[in-house]
Structure 1
Amino acid sequence: MSTPTADWLRLDQQICFSLNAASRAFGGVYRVILKDLGLTYPQYLVMLVLWEHGELPVKKLGEHLRLDSGTLSPLLKRLEAAGLVRRERSTRDERSVQVRLTEEGAALRGRALEVPRRIAAATGFDLDEIRELRARLDRLTTALDAAAAEEEAGR
């Protein structure tokens, strides 16, 4: 049975609202769990990328996180003030700023190992359900990126 056209504008029919509500709920759980690490959720994401990839230019870090430099710079400034990262101008290209972990930032990784397990437990999903949801969300993101590019090109 299909949804009547008149119902398409109901809030409970909007996938964007469901995703936003889930994102806000995740934010609440992360806020509590990350408090012990002294990190906000966006800062945690920065640290995840640096733990995975090591030293990176700010531009590449932003690409991994889908953040522009205007959003990323204040995050990095706070992480640097906390002693977790260091920002330095590239010796090869003065326009590029490199970000690397400090010893304290690298050591924080060990304490963060418990975070994904706690988040997974909070979802109530088993690992297969989590993998399936991630795969679907990745497909959704790819489709939406392509649709946005098409819309932009059509203007």
Structure 2
Amino acid sequence: MGDVDTITDPLALERQVCFALSVASRSVVAVYRPLLEPLGLTHPQYLVMLALWQRAPRSVKELSGVLQLDPGTLSPLLKRLESAGYVRRERDRSDERALAVTLTEPGAALRSRAESIPGAVVARLGMSLDDLVDLHAALTRVIAAAQRP
């Protein structure tokens, strides 16, 4: 087919929002990896912990909604966090059918070690805080638009 002009080609890889988001996501998660390893957390586990540090206990259903993860993806994350001793899953006292996830003492204590992570990520990215706030706002709009029926 030959080379196509990437400036005018609507299918040029470099012009695709999905490609930029995919590469940006992998790249940013890679920035987190060395910061999370000393805590014994993967990036998805870190997101679960962030939600629980914000408020715990939470039901599995609530965590699933907040993190926008299906329960089948969330369950193995919770099992690994429980094995690490950071969370505990138990029947919700107000609804025996629901599972509640709460922080253990070591899980709550881990928060203080994680407090340096956001600043370290900002420093590593070398972007201004204003640019990152703008990026977050733009991505939030993209998420909302993509989820619209």
Shorter-chain TM-score: what band? over 0.9
Return the alpha-carbon distance in structure 1 between the equivalents of residues 72 and 97 of structure 2: 15
1:108 Cα deviation after fit: 0.2
Equivalence for 1:43: 45
Equivalence for 2:129: 127
1:93 Cα deviation after fit: 2.0
Q: 1:72 is matched with which residue: 68, 71, 74?
A: 74
Letter in 2 for 1:57: S
1:28 Cα deviation after fit: 1.1
Return the alpha-carbon distance in structure 1 between the equivalents of residues 65 and 124 of structure 2: 28
1:92 Cα deviation after fit: 2.8
Letter in 1 for 2:121: I
Runs of at least 5 residues in structure 2 that lack an aligned partner in the other structure: 1-6
Q: 1:143 is matched with which residue: 141, 145, 149?
A: 145
Q: Aligned ranges for residues 3-152 of structure 1 at < 5 Å?
A: 4=8, 7-146=9-148, 149=149
TM-score of the superposition, structure 1-length normalised?
0.89
TM-score of the superposition, structure 2-length normalised?
0.93
Return the alpha-carbon distance in structure 2 between the equivalents of residues 13 and 135 of structure 1: 21
Letter in 2 for 1:61: L
Return the alpha-carbon distance in structure 2 between the equivalents of residues 29 and 17 of structure 1: 18
Letter in 2 for 1:119: V
Letter in 1 for 2:37: K
Letter in 1 for 2:46: Y
Aligned length: 143
Return the alpha-carbon distance in structure 2 between the equivalents of residues 107 and 54 of structure 1: 13
Q: CA RMSD in A?
A: 1.0
Deviations 1:1-53 (A, max 9, x none): xx63xx11111110110010010111211111100111000000000000001
Runs of at least 5 residues in structure 1 that lack an aligned partner in the other structure: 150-155
